[in-house]
Chain A
Amino acid sequence: MYRVGIDVGGTNTDAVVLKGNEVLAGIKASTTEDVTSGVFEALEQVIAASGIDRARIGAVMIGTTHFTNAVIERRHLDPVAAIRLGLPSGAGLPPMVDWPEDIREMVGNHGYQVKGGYEFDGRVLSPLDEDEIRRIAGEIRAKGIRAASVTGVFSGVNDTMELRTRDILLEECPGLSVVLSRDIGRHGLLARESAAIMNASLLRLADKTVQAFGHALEQAGVKAPFFITQNDGTLMAADTVRAFPVLTFASGPTNSMRGAAFLTGLKEAIVVDVGGTTSDVGALSHGFPRQASTSVDIGGVRTNFRMPDVFSIGLGGGSLVKGTTESVVIGPQSVGYRVRQEALVFGGQTLTATDIAVATGKAEIGDAALLESLDPKLVAAAADRMTEMFETCVERARISAEPVPVIAVGGGSVLMPDQIGDLKVIRPENFAVANAVGAAIAQISGETDRIFSLTDGVTRDSALAEAEAEARAQAIAAGAVAETIEVIEREDMPLAYLPGNATRIHVKVVGEMGALAEMEVENA
């Protein structure tokens, strides 16, 4: 059996075939607007390049930055009615209060604050104002909004009002997509609410995208199950993504960093993944992406997902180059996947970062002759600006004064210089498809997050052990090999003022996919 890893980026769709730990083939195809044909093309190419029998593909792992890019570029976001249940709590801080203006406008700026919510112990904060919900439903109908998010204060303690609100909304607006905050994130209202709103704004795109993946596999005659990688680098079943696209946020960076570590064997390094639209920068520590300990911004919006400490800058192969020699501006707008039609070097009409790389002789793609009319001063200024942008972001990701290598991966990494300050830049074999490699080696997770009562002989240790056993069983049921499972998160948080010594315990484990073990046996 083989594993196929596919990475659907803004510009390219990459695919690899792995047999055990060996990369048999890696290819790049163009991402297409319909997604399906690009993924189909990538599958066909990689199957051909590796010469494998498609019936023996055991699993397909797909990583996609589709949803992250939608937020960063403010594209394909649907308007959302963002309903918060909690007045008078939070009256001074309306929904999306800490969002950048442009994305707030994009999702329609329809924030509603309604009486409702609970206190920390489950008491009612304010009775739910059902008339107000119905009035808002009327507005939703009148405005033609198709998605809503509902966030109740302390919905992690009691979700009754969130559920009731959904029922009323569906009664009044049949067909409305409703996202409840209790399904999305953790404790911490603003960040959970923001994640729920973003999730709602991405639902239509998610549905379309997952369908497109399914069609592509079908067309290519691949019957294996497909999984999609989530923000911690582990896999979720494709259907889950339809409901929770935000869980894929930052999975791209995780995949490329895991792929970069896998391809180089390096454990300590800075990884720069240059795509078509953005570059993602992060640091490897002990072979894993360093986790952010503070909250993570996606497109300027604060969320409370646990994610790698990676940040994006709007510089990629397709980044638009604008302005004059004196004030050249690169990105964040990008021609994205259309770089092979729109960049000057491919006969297009748009000046992009790729054109600058070719004009300065750093890259040899397309037809350099098409760039002869470019002002050399502008080219030099743009090249300097790009180097400066890379230097700044590498410095930001750097852990210490110790010189660590920089691993350049991603299709756009031709834009990177060979040396950044005192740091050497390494491009491993298969660098262009590191993301797909990272997706292919993604693991299966299991998770327990629930409240234990530490009474009747249940101790902290025994509860933690029970939670771990649950998480392990879940991971094994999802296809993980027992011997490879390890705990990656373990926390317990007593709930103040609650009787019965109630403690919230969260344990997450990861393990290798079972299919991998089978492959090892087969390959032996």
Chain B
Amino acid sequence: MPDTRELTYDPADLWELTLDDLEALEVGAGILGTGGGGNPYQGKLLTREAMKAGYKMTILATEKIADDALCMSIGGIGAPVVGTERIREGREGLRCLQGMEELTGRKMDAIVCEEIGGANSMNPLVTAALGGLPVLDCDGMGRAFPEMQMTTFSIYGHSSTPSVMCDLHGNRVVFQHAVSEVFHERMARACVVAQGGAAMLATAPMPASFVRQNAIPQSYTKAIRLGRAVLDARRNGDDPVATVCALEGGRHVFTGKITDLKRHLRGGFAVGDLELGGFDDFQGQTASIAIQNEFLIFRREGEVEVTVPDLIIVLDVDTGYPITTEMLRYGQRIAVLAVPCHDLLRSARALDVVGPAAFGYPEIPFAPLAPLGQAA
């Protein structure tokens, strides 16, 4: 292995997370998961155990790292429903980091979060802590998406191979080269089934200058702030739904009871439809949400109102806690929120990859949600 390089950042700029930050991140990342991305609970436990064992979880502002610093993005891949039963071993991410350093012959300077929504908010923290690196305050989605090519890194030109994928058994797979990001996703997906449905994957390193330009900014700051606000609202008896809307510039589009829930499989993904009967301000209305791991399309009385990549968030109507698609049940009472996504996800280039057409709805155009206060 080569040189011990000088630090590419000033240690004084590091923000060391506390246990309270982790509790808040669990809630905030769950909300940003838009139904998918898996439940961050187990990831939080792993992070907490690592913290108790003396490892430090540090966040670094993306603009505080040297341009040529090497950043490796990491995330879990596979079915969340597998992960809640076959729990991770705990060092898969570290093995990815070691594998990547061996493969490239270079030391990494920082870890980047692939996806802030859901469980993947926690995975970079554990990997970075075990590897003694900081995590940059940004991510590649600003929410959760079901497929690997759906990161702003891939969308804006980063080739994610060579990549390293490690499972809990100790297997290590290197994808040397993929001709396209979609091929990479396809190969990794096939491989993860052989590995038992869940693994960690690190993609080819990126220079910090690229990350700075193409990542969704301040993801950890935002997710932790969001989580803290919901927890405070719960404690103070304020309305958590309104709190989330106020903080994220979103709007409360529906409150209702789940009247039917259809789920089936399409190409390895859990696809489904949620039917809702309204109450409170939405008494007498019906609505539906189309699901593919995440919440994709919100319709009222059959008319499309909100579409991916804008965020469709489902919260427990009383507690404000996020409900993931696996937790949905007949009879549940939920609030539906719509939050505008980051501009990086709204370009024509991005919409080709994360717009309605990319999820099998070519007939539905993306109609961007206006930020609150402007005409819808």
Contact = CB atoms under 8 A, between A and B. Distances in A.
B91 interface: yes
A309 B79 CA distance: 28
Given A91-B90, A189-B85, A489-B330, A497 B197 contact: yes
Interface string B100-138: 000000000000000000000000000000000000000
Given A93-B49, A396-B237, A88 B169 contact: yes
B349 to A, nearest CB: 31
A89 B261 contact: no
B197 A491 contact: no
Contacts of B234: 396
A89 B87 contact: yes
A120 B270 contact: no
Contacts of A92: 46, 49-50, 87-91
Contacts of A492: 261-263
A494 B90 contact: no
A489 B50 CA distance: 39
B168 interface: yes
Contacts of A301: none
Contacts of B45: 93, 97-98, 190
Contacts of A395: 237
Interface string B41-59: 0100110011000000000
Interface stretch (A29-37, A256-264, A286-294): A286-294
Given A88-B168, A293-B323, A494-B265, A93 B237 contact: no
A120 B82 contact: yes
Contact of B86 (A154, A285, A398, A460): A154
B196 A494 contact: no
B5 interface: no
A491 to B, nearest CB: 6
Nearest to B316: A293
Contact of A497 (B90, B193, B264): B193
A91 B321 contact: no
B90 A153 contact: no
B329 A491 contact: yes
B11 interface: no
A294 B46 contact: no
A290 B318 contact: yes
A336 B321 CA distance: 34
A285 B280 CA distance: 13
A385 interface: no
Interface in A389-427: 395-396, 398-400
Contacts of B319: 293-294
B205 to A, nearest CB: 26
Contacts of A285: 333
Nearest to B91: A92
Interface in B152-185: 168-170
Given A189-B84, A294-B316, A89 B89 contact: yes
Contacts of B327: 293-294
A300 interface: no
A287 to B, nearest CB: 14
A123 B87 CA distance: 16
A117 interface: yes
Contacts of A127: none
Interface size of B as a range: 35 or more
Nearest to B329: A491
B172 to A, nearest CB: 14
B86 A93 contact: no
A112 to B, nearest CB: 15
A294 B321 contact: yes
B332 interface: yes
Given A119-B197, A293-B316, A491-B330, A496 B84 contact: no
B169 A293 contact: no
B81 interface: yes
Contacts of B90: 91-93
Interface centre among A154, A188, A400 (most CB of B within 10 A): A188
A119 B86 CA distance: 7
B91 A89 contact: no
B365 interface: no
B268 interface: yes
B371 interface: no
A524 interface: no
B74 to A, nearest CB: 16
Contacts of A97: 45, 49
A488 B331 contact: yes
B42 A93 contact: yes
Contacts of A283: 318
Contacts of A309: 318
A494 B81 CA distance: 11
A492 B81 CA distance: 14
B84 A120 contact: no
A89 B42 contact: no
A396 B233 CA distance: 10
A156 B81 CA distance: 13
Contacts of A91: 89-90
A491 B261 contact: yes
A53 B41 CA distance: 55
Interface of B: 42, 45-46, 49-50, 79, 81-82, 84-91, 168-170, 193, 196-197, 234, 237, 261-265, 268, 270, 280, 316-319, 321, 323, 327, 329-334
Given A188-B84, A290-B318, A460-B264, 12 more contacts: A89-B87, A91-B90, A93-B49, A119-B197, A123-B196, A153-B86, A156-B85, A189-B85, A491-B329, A494-B270, A496-B197, A496-B270
Interface of A: 86, 88-93, 97-98, 117, 119-120, 123, 125, 153-154, 156, 187-190, 283, 285, 290-291, 293-294, 309, 395-396, 398-400, 460, 488-494, 496-497, 501, 503
24 contacts: A88-B89, A88-B170, A89-B86, A89-B168, A90-B87, A90-B88, A117-B86, A119-B197, A120-B85, A125-B86, A154-B85, A188-B84, A283-B318, A293-B323, A293-B329, A293-B333, A396-B234, A399-B317, A399-B318, A489-B329, A492-B261, A492-B263, A494-B270, A496-B268
